[in-house]
Structure 1
Amino acid sequence: MNHRTTTDRKVVKPTPAELMEDTGTGLDYGTRPDRMVGDLTATDRFYLRSHAPTPEVDAATWTLRVEGKGVRESISYTYDDLWQRYPLVSLVRTIECAGNRRVLFGAEVGRTFAGTQWGRGAIGTAEWTGVRLRDLLEPAGIAPGACEVMAEGLDEIRARRPMPLAKALADDTLVALAMNGEVLPADHGFPARLVVSGWLGAASIKWLGRIEVAEDPIHVPWNTEDYVLIGPDFPADAPARGPAITTLPVASLVELPWPALLRPAPQIVRGRAFAGENRIAAVQYRIDDDPWQDALITSPVTPGVWVRWQFRWHPEPGEHTIRVRATDDQGNTQPDSTPWNELGYLHQSVLAHPVCVEPPAATARSEANV
């Protein structure tokens, strides 16, 4: 055994309310949208999603084992092997939980979904540095009949999620060793984690310990009971209760508190949009019942990475609603409603973001009291 679990807290890093939103599980913390700054999410506020407490792993004794019927021989790697024997690559990629916005999905359909009660903050973007997964699979000798690859973590419940061989061999599927230029923090997967571009966060397994290559489809709770779409629009495919979630749909967020309080003065409203494996092609906004207008995209447009957008607004005092909709390069536009599913996944509806603009007198009184 090369790890133990911390006992004082379920996670290691601080999760202050001024940066993070507490979902109440002790494990899961979202990033406050009004604390997102720059193209990358700072590590101190990158959202946390775990199925069990953060394990404490000793890199000196840690190994990553590649095995299964889909390889000719099993092979193990040490931490030093990954740093020293293989080319390191750095990729900027966004990771989002499939349950992001579950609370808002519940408000839309008038019910409370089970699962982590996410607001809008279960999404983040980092620069990940590590070794391409294919560089670690190929020395084991991939068998002609190999079809799936499953990563397994060292947390208490051994979180695991299979993917097709082609996705495992993709240029941007990475065994990450560093995040935003520093060694992976414990909560984010030290000593090594997977980064599966454009897919749900559950595929980017943390605290890697084992990788299985299989010649037959692999069925585990994370692709049969959980992280699947269950509902009348999603037929079951035994043993799975519904289609397994892979890539993520197009969605957007406004970098304001919910609800927001603004002054009656010129504003720049900013936000993010993400389209999973696709590129964002356009972002539009609408104030109250005004026509839709184009927002300005202010960051590079890349598959697997969110974009930043903004627009200028001089609001009048009173209650307002901001709506934003993004469109990807395949022509998919955010809908007004999301297909119902039992676990409240993949919410992508256009959100009616409430904004209160103070009257000028209130603004003057507030400034006088500073």
Structure 2
Amino acid sequence: MSERKVVKPTPAELMEDTGTGVDYGVRPDRLPGFLTPIDRFFLRGHAPTPRLDAATWSLRIEGDGVREPVTYGYADLWERFPLVSMVRTIECAGNRRVLFGEAYGRGFAGTQWGRGAIGTAEWTGVRLRDLLERAGITAEAREVMPEALDRIRARRPMPLAKALADDTLLALAMNGETLPPDHGFPARVVVSGWLGAASIKWVGRIEVSEQPLRVPWNTEDYVLIGPDYPSGPVPITGLPVASLVELPWPARLRPGPQVVRGRAFAGENAVTAVEYRVDDGPWRPASLTEPRLPAIWVRWQFAWDARPGDHTIQVRATDDQGRTQPGTVPWNDLGYLNHAVLSHPVRVEP
């Protein structure tokens, strides 16, 4: 039997196995509260989880965009800087890729995500800007790129302004616990509202550059490419508004009064409204719960008197920029950013 590529258990009753050995989505019907428990927070990796020792780990900040390279040990992060905690949602840009392919009658390479590549946690750590400022950012600095200590050195740049934002964090803890190995121990970046690939795990190096940085993760992958993008690959940054129904796909329900629940997320923006309809009925407003903040999902629900038979539930969310989920999204060759309204199949029977 081959060695497992991840550390935490991934039982089928909680997690959806995509078949890669490193990528597992949460089952949408197994989301019990506002925060996603660590045992079912989705896993996305480009290589097996590295086993790192905090006693020998270090973080180096360097590049032509800093005046003096600096190196921090694990204890330095806990002892020398103010700690902050923030709740943030992380979603993979490939979430709902399988459903995207089904809508077009074609398949995609890449991780075969259903709807479960999303989760929300309380992250505790040090603001990235506090670490960068100790190195002395030059006036010409433009981009900041965290790099992982996994086997392939995953890395992705972001603009300096995003790196210095109040809510860009080097996280050391998750939901009140020391960061687990699969989720980035000893330290990971949390880039609020951006695609999950920007929130690099197992960080060991951060490059600050005075020139644009081009790596496979912003030129070949995690980009929009295809006939609707004639100018070439468009790197993905913030995520569009989308929604999730907390039911299996397809779902089976008993007849009678039901409460249908779900989540909606709008990347760097806040969700302001969620509507639903059953079959070909009118769109109606769902009830939203607090909080309703940027970069965090919102919970919604509606009451439904379910009649026996086959039904379709559709849900669409709107963000604070007035953007509403569309009926369809343009094709892209890598199957990213599927935020179209989904037709969720439901059978009601005793």
Q: Give the alignment's TM-score, normalised by structure 2.
A: 0.99
The one-letter amino acid paired with 1:353 is H
Equivalent pair of 1:39/1:299 in contact (CA under 8 Å):
no
User: In the alignment, does 2:128 pair up with 1:137?
Assistant: no
Instruction: Give 1:298 shift.
Output: 1.3
From 157, 174, 180, the equivalent of 1:179 is 174
User: In the alignment, does 2:73 pair up with 1:82?
Assistant: no
2:55 counterpart residue number: 60
User: In the alignment, does 2:337 pair up with 1:337?
Assistant: no
SS at match of 1:161: coil
Quote the Cα distance in structure 2 between the aligned partners of 1:16 and 1:265. 31
2:282 counterpart residue number: 291
Quote the Cα distance in structure 1 between the aligned partners of 2:330 and 2:83. 41
From 118, 122, 131, the equivalent of 1:127 is 122
Q: Percent identity?
A: 75
The one-letter amino acid paired with 2:39 is D
Quote the Cα distance in structure 1 between the aligned partners of 2:328 and 2:67. 48
The one-letter amino acid paired with 2:131 is L
Quote the Cα distance in structure 1 between the aligned partners of 2:3 and 2:60. 30
2:346 counterpart residue number: 355
User: In the alignment, does 2:141 pair up with 1:146?
Assistant: yes
Quote the Cα distance in structure 1 between the aligned partners of 2:225 and 2:139. 33
Quote the Cα distance in structure 1 between the aligned partners of 2:230 and 2:234. 7
1:257 counterpart residue number: 248
Quote the Cα distance in structure 2 between the aligned partners of 1:190 and 1:329. 34
1:367 counterpart residue number: none
From 305, 310, 329, the equivalent of 2:301 is 310
1:242 counterpart residue number: 233
User: In the alignment, does 2:228 pair up with 1:202?
Assistant: no
SS at match of 1:278: coil
The one-letter amino acid paired with 1:25 is T
Instruction: Give 1:37 shift.
Output: 1.3
* Runs of 4+ with >4 A deviation: none
Instruction: Give 1:232 shift.
Output: 2.1
Instruction: Give 1:234 shift.
Output: 1.8
SS at match of 2:234: coil
Q: Deviations over 1:233-283 (max 9, x none)?
A: 2233xxxx4110000000001000000000002100000000000010100
The one-letter amino acid paired with 2:241 is V
Instruction: Give 1:231 shift.
Output: 1.4
Quote the Cα distance in structure 2 between the aligned partners of 1:196 and 1:34. 27
Quote the Cα distance in structure 1 between the aligned partners of 2:102 and 2:329. 12
SS at match of 1:55: coil
1:105 counterpart residue number: 100
Gaps of 5+ in 1: 1-6, 364-370
1:13 counterpart residue number: 8
The one-letter amino acid paired with 2:92 is C
Equivalent pair of 1:133/1:175 in contact (CA under 8 Å):
yes
- How many equivalent residue pairs? 349
Q: Superposed, which structure 2 residues align to 1:159-178 within 5 Å?
A: 159-178=154-173
Instruction: Give 1:299 shift.
Output: 2.5
2:292 counterpart residue number: 301
SS at match of 2:236: coil
2:213 counterpart residue number: 218
Quote the Cα distance in structure 1 between the aligned partners of 2:141 and 2:289. 42
Q: Superposed, which structure 2 residues align to 1:42-61 within 5 Å?
A: 42-61=37-56
RMSD (CA atoms) = 0.7
SS at match of 2:229: coil
Quote the Cα distance in structure 2 between the aligned partners of 1:150 and 1:130. 18
SS at match of 1:266: strand
The one-letter amino acid paired with 2:305 is H
> Which structure has the bigger radius of gyration?
1
Equivalent pair of 1:323/1:352 in contact (CA under 8 Å):
yes
Gaps of 5+ in 2: none
Quote the Cα distance in structure 1 between the aligned partners of 2:100 and 2:266. 18
1:267 counterpart residue number: 258
Quote the Cα distance in structure 1 between the aligned partners of 2:282 and 2:129. 48
Q: Deviations over 1:155-203 (max 9, x none)?
A: 0000000000000000000000000000000000000000000000000
Quote the Cα distance in structure 1 between the aligned partners of 2:187 and 2:167. 16
Instruction: Give 1:8 shift.
Output: 2.1
Instruction: Give 1:142 shift.
Output: 0.2
Quote the Cα distance in structure 2 between the aligned partners of 1:266 and 1:43. 32
The one-letter amino acid paired with 1:218 is L
1:35 counterpart residue number: 30
Q: Give the alignment's TM-score, normalised by structure 1.
A: 0.94
SS at match of 2:256: coil
Quote the Cα distance in structure 2 between the aligned partners of 1:58 and 1:332. 44
Instruction: Give 1:30 shift.
Output: 0.1
SS at match of 1:103: helix
